[in-house]
Amino acid sequence: MKKKTAIFALLLTTPVLLFLLHHYFFNAPGLHATGFTVNENVLYMSYARQYQDQGNFSIFYSNPFDGDPASPRIYFQPVTLVFSFLLRLGADPGLCLSLFGLLMAFLTVYTGLLILRQLLGKEKSLLWPGLLFTWGGGLLSLAGLAAWIFLPGVQASSWEIASHLADPAWGWWGLNWGRNLFIPMEAFYHFLFLLNIYLLLRQKWIAGIGTALLLSVSHPFTGIEYLLIMNGWLLLERFVSRQKTVPLYYLAGHLLITAFHLWYYLYYLNGFPEHRQLFEQYSASWTYSLRVAIPAYALIGVLALLGIREHKKRGLFSLPQQRLFLCWALISFFLSKHEWFIKPMQPLHFTRGYTWAGLFFLALPFITWLLEEWKYRWRKPVIAVLLFLIFSDNITWTWTLLKDQNTQESESHIGPETREILAYLQKTGRPQDLLTGNAPLVMYMTNAYSGANAWVSHPYNTPEIQERSREMDLFLSGGGPPLTWQNRRILVLVDKENKNSSPVSPQLLQKKIFENKRYLLATP
């Protein structure tokens, strides 16, 4: 049985594999695939690189985008240690992350199938429930197309672009579950989330507490989302439903982990000025409107209501897992709209398919009845239409990902000149080197490949980025370096193809240490 489940999970992971193959092999001539399929992926290998640049080992690392090798070591993610070990063995950063993401995508799908088997029993087929949970979605692509066709003023150059109009960040926020499997670290967090749910259903209490702690220290947003969902359900079970199946120490363990989570991410880290600046920058009002939420969740929401109605025959929410799924759906949704209650801190970070997944499990009783027991005369066409609607988002989105060749340079694909300068910095860069210049792509990516530190890099992980940009621009135009740059080897990198930046003072470029057709690297 487990072998068949694993094979089915491999088949369901095929879209992610195709995405990786497309990334590595379907490129314009001259472009080299980096393995960073999403621009944010560079962050995680930059964190891992910090362990190589430490003078003495610590399980904590500093912010690689601080620009200062003396920045305090206050951050910790267990998987970063694994990445660091692989980098020390000579693994390519992007390939390392891509293969990790593929493995996590498989484990996420496999764990989801185990949960479905636990809920459905051995006699039920996993085929359609597995497909629907992994790759089902909402009506966002159809909503975008409808807006393009019927609403005046809505413009798009093609139907593919129109299909993304209602989907935040062109679908990369992953409002349905399977979409997140394309992002390596999100696949990892989703695996841990589902693993916690599976351990709960199997009543593996000690292992569940350990996995909850692992999720907490792995990601602030997913960690607190899981903990609030679980604490809400545990308190409901203990004090409202008066259920004592779950041991008290399991509740106590989750409450302690929640207290630790809040202390570490909100109190301890904010005790450092360097992090407080990042916290302010990250407290952004990235949210989504109800005009997006409705097409995202309406279809699975209706099925969930029908699932509740179907379950009512045996007593509304008579089973603990039904109450868990209700807490899951409601708490994750209100977290994704927490700007209604408190100062927003990237509400979209709490979407990531969690609301959709909670609604799916609520809908599962009705879905299985509809697919296996419904005897209506028009059963086949009705089910066919339903399946078309629920798969439309991911079919459209995956098609637009895979249909075009990669032709432009970015974090995911770089030209030979960019590859040369990164290789040079990887070979010669040291933590005391301070990289400045007008080449933002290289200044962002260098942290994943080199010990050199860029003064201005990632827009949210660079402290006081606006002030730093002004200081760097003043220096590049011929002004003196800030006092904070003393005792550092300053590197000036010029992108000759960047026509939008201000000219760099020739005095800074007299001592050239590297040059190719596109880049010039010098020390003042």
Averaged pLDDT, 300-318: 76
Q: What is the 3-state secondary structure (H, E, C) of 365-403?
A: HHHHHHHHCCCCCCHHHHHHHHHHHHHHHHHHHHHHHHC
Least confident of 150-159, 205-214, 321-330: 150-159
The identity of residue 75, as a single letter, is Y
**150 and 219 inside one domain:** yes
User: What is the H or E stretch that residue 32 is in?
Assistant: strand 32-33
Give the whole-angstrom CA distance, residue 460 versus residue 280. 9
**20 and 123 inside one domain:** no
Q: 134 in a domain, yes or no? A: yes
Last residue of a domain, one of 338, 369, 402: 402
Q: 408 in a domain, yes or no? A: no
Averaged pLDDT, 401-419: 93
pLDDT score of 191 more than 70 = yes
**392 and 463 inside one domain:** no
**229 and 122 inside one domain:** yes
Q: Given pLDDT bands bounded at 50, 70 and 90, which one contains residue 244?
A: confident
Q: 220 in a domain, yes or no? A: yes
**305 and 181 inside one domain:** yes
**369 and 421 inside one domain:** no
pLDDT of residue 314: 57
**147 and 167 inside one domain:** yes
Q: CA separation (Å) from 141 to 15, 59, 160, 169, 431?
A: 18, 44, 9, 13, 46
Range of 145's domain?
A: 100-402
pLDDT of residue 132: 97
pLDDT of residue 242: 76
Q: 407 in a domain, yes or no? A: no
Question: Helix 379-402 crosses helix 290-312 at what angle (to 10 degrees)?
Answer: 140
Averaged pLDDT, 418-422: 97
pLDDT of residue 317: 66
**206 and 88 inside one domain:** no
- The average confidence (pLDDT) of the chain is 92
Least confident of 248-257, 259-268, 283-292, 409-418: 283-292
Q: Which of 193-207, 282-296, 491-505 has the highest mean pLDDT?
A: 193-207
Averaged pLDDT, 169-175: 94
pLDDT of residue 1: 65
CB atoms within 10 A of CB 238: 14
pLDDT score of 243 more than 90 = no
Give the whole-angstrom CA distance, residue 180 versus residue 190. 8
Q: 465 in a domain, yes or no? A: yes
Own/partner pairs for 226-230, CB < 8 Å, 24+ apart? 226/193, 226/196, 227/254, 227/257, 227/258, 227/261, 228/258, 228/331, 228/335, 229/327, 229/328, 229/331, 229/332, 230/196, 230/200, 230/254
Last residue of a domain, one of 349, 370, 402: 402
Last residue of a domain, one of 344, 378, 402: 402
Per-residue pLDDT of 95-121, as tens digits, reads 999 999 999 999 999 999 999 999 999
The percent of residues in the chain predicted with pLDDT above 70, rounded, is: 98
Per-residue pLDDT of 456-492, as tens digits, reads 999 889 988 999 999 999 999 988 898 889 889 999 9
Q: 468 in a domain, yes or no? A: yes
Least confident of 5-19, 73-87, 272-286: 272-286
pLDDT score of 313 more than 90 = no
Which is nearest to 251 in space by CA: 234, 267, 266? 234
Q: Which of 66-75, 444-453, 497-506 has the highest mean pLDDT?
A: 444-453
Residues in the chain, overall count: 524
Per-residue pLDDT of 324-371, as tens digits, reads 999 999 999 999 999 999 888 899 999 999 999 999 999 999 999 888
**344 and 261 inside one domain:** yes
Which is nearest to 386 in space by CA: 112, 139, 149? 139
**62 and 105 inside one domain:** no
**69 and 169 inside one domain:** no
User: What is the H or E stretch that residue 248 is in?
Assistant: helix 248-262
Q: How many domains does the chain have?
A: 3
pLDDT score of 439 more than 80 = yes
Q: Pull the structure tokens for residue 68.
A: 């200062």
Specify the DSSP class assigned to residue 348: G
**119 and 77 inside one domain:** no
pLDDT of residue 316: 56
**pTM of the predicted model as reported, rounded to 2 decimal places:** 0.95
pLDDT of residue 277: 85
